[in-house]
Amino acid sequence: MKNYDAIIIGAGIIGAATAFELAKKGYKTLSIDKLPSAGYGSTSNSCAIVRAHYSTYEGVAFAYEGFFYWDDWASYLEVEDEAGMAQYRKTGSILIKSKGHDWRKVKKHYDAVGVEYEEWTPQQMVDHIPIFSDDSFWPVTRPEEDPHFHEPKGKLEGAIYTPGSGYVNDPQLSVHNLQRATEAKGGEFMFNTEVVEIRSEADKVVGVTTSKGERIDAPIVVNAAGPHSFKINSMAKGVLEGMNIKTQPLRHEVHHVPSPEGFDFYNDGYHTSDGDNAIYFRPEVGNMILVGSEDPECDPQEWIEDPDNFNRNISDAQYKAQVYRLARRIPSLGIPNKQIGIADLYDCSTDWIPIYDKSDLGGYYMAIGTSGNQFKTAPVVGVLMAELIDYSEKGHDHDSEPFKLLMKHTGITLDVSFFSRKREVNEDSSFSVNG
């Protein structure tokens, strides 16, 4: 029998950040993960993009707060990791003005939050990155279905550029950094261990049972299990019944292609959100370009029932859809014969906005539904969850008196009920990876 103040299920970026912030508050934490090390799950395949364009004011404000943590990562963690420190590559982000993004709404939120940005004409965009085309191809189609797939339909309106954004070079290492920072504050980690039971008494969580037969007691349990979050919730008495917003894993692919010959995309490229082609892409090591889908209606969605059993091989059809769309934006792009990419899972909520909340089971909390778009916010999520847990455990009812988080870098106060499990579906969402 072991006793802790809080058990965090999942040692990905969200779980590790939550453990770190709880440990900083003096909670004796235990992070449990079924994999052999921190960040080995879906976090390891994250594109780790740090950008501010979201569909809602709250989403923009929350993401922008995250910029400041990544920009000063080592100082935030106050620890040296023997494995090295993850690096924030501040390439800047190009948000192409297109019908695929409600960029006017994004711009309005940027103004309200105080996000630094520039508006570019199509020519300015091409001046900054000369391999780009300013052609428009909207509406988004698939190459196997559209005989006119490569024919431009007009010209783009321009772009919005945010200089403070970019991506983290090694998402798995960033979680290892958080693990070391948590351990320095007294937190513990348990790997190769699966939670098989959430134990409760009198509508209050009392601990977990592991696949090794261990009963570990704690008055607080946090579900940060990523694509396994719905399975963990199903173990907790009365939790699913009290949720209006649910989560389910969605299979997604990301592909890698070489930069056009003669162009140093790794050093001179930008993270780009191209709603006109429903893709996002960023530089990658080896002068490669990483490209993923922004979930247009024409791309099929593959929802997964068993997150431990899904197809990890990339598909020829989706590879061509994403890479050929990239070739429309970068006409000099070569299409390699060898298809390289990865397939992994998003943890998607009903409206693609995460759940950061308590539950109807006392002491049981959730940081789930992170939808492939919350890596950038992880340090802020850690702060939010630690403060929400502290607030609730001191007797406040977050459902009737929602906790409000003062974000220290932007000075913005966020009503955390925005992320409630009981909220109505947020129709302002993009219902895509853009959040």
Structure confidence at residue 73 as a pLDDT band (50, 70, 90): very high
Residue 129 has pLDDT above 90, yes or no: yes
Q: Which two tokens stand for residue 54?
A: 């979201």
- Which DSSP state fits 235? H
Q: Are 308 and 288 in contact (CB under 8 A)?
A: no
How far apart are alpha carbons 232 and 236 in whole angstroms? 7
Structure confidence at residue 74 as a pLDDT band (50, 70, 90): very high
Q: Are 137 and 181 in contact (CB under 8 A)?
A: no
**C-alpha pair distances (Å), 404 with each of 223, 391, 392, 412:** 21, 10, 12, 10
**C-alpha pair distances (Å), 223 with each of 9, 12, 174, 369:** 5, 11, 20, 11
How far apart are alpha carbons 60 and 179 in whole angstroms? 27
Q: Which residues pair with 146 in a beta bridge?
A: none
Residue 2 has pLDDT above 90, yes or no: no
pLDDT score, position 1 = 67
- Backbone φ and ψ for 127, nearest 5 degrees, come out as -65, -40
Q: Are 364 and 236 in contact (CB under 8 A)?
A: yes
Mean pLDDT of the chain, nearest integer: 97
pLDDT, tens digit, 9 for 90 and up, residues 187-201: 999 999 999 999 999
pLDDT, tens digit, 9 for 90 and up, residues 5-26: 999 999 999 999 999 999 999 9
Q: Are 354 and 346 in contact (CB under 8 A)?
A: no
Q: Are 198 and 60 in contact (CB under 8 A)?
A: no
Structure confidence at residue 75 as a pLDDT band (50, 70, 90): very high
pLDDT, tens digit, 9 for 90 and up, residues 142-189: 999 999 999 999 999 999 999 999 999 999 999 999 999 999 999 999
pTM as predicted? 0.97
Q: Which two tokens stand for residue 10?
A: 């999942």
Q: Which residues pair with 342 in a beta bridge?
A: 254
pLDDT score, position 431 = 84
Q: H/E/C letters for each residue in 188-231?
A: EEECCCCEEEEEEECCEEEEEEECCCCEEECCCEEECCHHHHHH
- Backbone φ and ψ for 284, nearest 5 degrees, come out as -140, 160
pLDDT, tens digit, 9 for 90 and up, residues 214-269: 999 999 999 999 999 999 999 999 999 999 999 999 999 999 999 999 999 999 99
Indicate if the alpha-carbon torsion angle 33, 36, 42, 43 is positive or negative. Answer: positive
Which residue from 166, 98, 91 is spatially nearest to 133, judged by alpha carbons? Answer: 98
Q: H/E/C letters for each residue in 68-125?
A: HHHHCHHHHHCCCCCCCCCCEECCCEEEECCCCCCHHHHHHHHHHHCCCCEEECHHHH
Tokens 């209606």 sit on residue:
297
Q: Which residue type sits at 383?
A: V
DSSP SS3 for 249: strand
How far apart are alpha carbons 216 and 199 in whole angstroms? 9
Q: Are 346 and 371 in contact (CB under 8 A)?
A: yes
pLDDT score, position 151 = 97
In the chain the domains, ranked by start, together with CATH numbers, are 2-84+170-246+351-419 (3.50.50.60), 88-166+249-347 (3.30.9.10)
Tokens 């000099």 sit on residue:
332
Tokens 């579906």 sit on residue:
425
How far apart are alpha carbons 295 and 182 in whole angstroms? 35
pLDDT score, position 82 = 98
pLDDT, tens digit, 9 for 90 and up, residues 56-68: 999 999 999 999 9
- Average pLDDT of the segment spanning 326-344: 96
